[in-house]
Amino acid sequence: MEQNDSFDHLFVKGINANIHLITRGDKNGVPVIFLHGITSYSYSFIKVLHRMPEKYYTLSMDIRGRGLSDSPKEGYLLKDYTEDLLNVVNALVDNPIPPILVGHSMGARIAAAFGSRYSSLISGMVLIDPPINGPGQREVYPNPLSMFLKQKEAVDQGEMELFRSFFPSFTEEQVTERAEEYRNNSVHAIIESYESLLREPFQVFIKMLTTPVLLLAAEFGDTIRDNELQVLKRLNPQMQVERVKGVGHMIYKDDPEQTADFIVSFIEKTIGQLS
pLDDT tens readout for residues 221-265: 999 999 999 999 999 999 999 999 999 999 999 999 999 999 999
pLDDT tens readout for residues 7-54: 999 999 999 999 999 999 999 999 999 999 999 999 999 999 999 999
In this model, does residue 101 exceed pLDDT 60? yes
28: helix, coil or strand? coil
Which domains, ranges and CATH numbers included, belong to the chain? Answer: 8-274 (3.40.50.1820)
CA distance 155 to 31: 34
Q: Which H/E stretch holds residue 39?
A: none
pLDDT tens readout for residues 45-84: 999 999 999 999 999 999 999 999 999 999 999 999 999 9
Burial class (CB in 10 A: 0-12, 13-18, 19+), 140: exposed
Q: What share of the chain is helix, strand, coil (3-state, %, to 5)?
A: 45, 15, 40
CA distance 14 to 193: 20
